[in-house]
Structure 1
Amino acid sequence: MKINVLFLILSVVLISCNNDDEATPPADVSVDFTFSHNWEGSVITNSDFDQIQYTNENGEELSISKLDYLISDITFTNTTTGEVYAADDYNFISVRNNTNMNFTPDITIPAGTYAVSFTFGFDDEDNQDGVYQDLNTIGWNVPMMLGGGYHYMRLEGKFIDNTSAEVGYQYHTIRAADNTVTPMILTDTSFEVELGNIQIVEGVGITIEMDVAEWFKNPNTWDLNVLHSMLMPNYNAQIMMSENGRSAFSLGAVVTP
């Protein structure tokens, strides 16, 4: 009898160990992103387009008629192991057209805490001329005379100039190009945005905020009377826009199930 009882206990232990060894590891999870846009905290909706209702840091009243931009290389760095998971896709956002305001990168990762970041625009490795057919179709290309590749952002509207006239502005960001010299000078003006450490679990949703006012004020106070058009071939203006854009993005809500 004692032998039978001992055998039964050993059998239970062995079965338990085998079950532990064969336990299915937790499934990797996807992460959903939502993009939200505001002017100094006031949410920008479709009804706000074409309304001269904003005032920039330089005191100019302005409207927004277009806000299109591209982000790429969403990256998750595990804060415990240091392992890096980088998505290879990108997202083109057209705010007025309500296009791609929600985006799930084509990557899954183990649940855990991650430092989350993304790139505004394309870095030089990805900013290769003509390779993205969907962006070619919508005319997102940059002319070869300015180095080729793709736009990062097109922000357009009207402002009241120093003669009280309504004037259009085109705040277009690209890789900075100085084509007044040979060879042309190209400077990567994309930048990485760090959203901080986020607990990633199944069903998590992350909101990325853009404060459009920041493009006009920090660290460079933008004078639209001087810099409102022909900004793509303006090397120094592209550097300044890149500097200002670094404070435009921030982490909004993190929603977990």
Structure 2
Amino acid sequence: MSFELYPAIDLKDGQCVRLLRGEMDKATQYNPDPADQARQFAEMGFTNLHVVDLNGAFAGESANTDAVKAILSATNAPVQLGGGIRTRAQIDAWLEAGVSRVILGTAALRDPELVKDAARALPGQVVVGIDAKDGMVAVEGWAETSDMKAVDLAKAFEGCGVAALIVTDIARDGMKTGVNVTFTGELADAVSIPVIASGGVASAQDIRALRAHQGQRAISGSILGRALYDGDLDPAEAIKLAR
């Protein structure tokens, strides 16, 4: 099974930043020009991009539209976009704008039928983001923890055409403390939908660990964030390990 890498461009106020554990007031700015960052990732050899509209995730509607469109213009790489996408109209608008896949997080918990209907109508273009605190789903830009277990939410989308699940352990996000292979692997084993790991990748060892997961199903990929920006993860080595 192929293992895909997704360098992350997180957008706050039009700039490329990284947060610690999803806290907006703990943002580190890495590049004021997100389109330039997209070009840099392409030059490194990455063939996918993971873009999150952080302001949108809190506002419940797209807030960094110009920055996203600039990224789409700057690269031919498939872009998956999340953050504030809560309606079918928003899903359709972003796919028409050139996004390859939309990521639905809060909507997956609040309006699962919307997600299922969209996934059936748009095969391969709808991804569910499952963000978890201590195994429980968090929503609204991670500001709120629900009483739904992450694994139960994952199982709810079996068989409707969801392209992938992006599973984030919030406690590790942006911390470079190592990815939670156990938690990610449990979700990968629980569903037939491809599972992408997110949160905490610190070095090439995390990619090795994700690839080495011995369960019923392989983990299908990983989001790369702060470790890539800080230089702790060598792009060429990461790409080689993924292949």
Per the TM superposition, whether the score is higher than 0.5 is no
User: Which of the pair has more CA radius of gyration?
Assistant: 1
Q: Which has the higher contact order (CA 8 A, sep 6+)?
A: 1
Report which of the two has the higher share of helix.
Answer: 2
Report which of the two has the higher share of strand.
Answer: 1
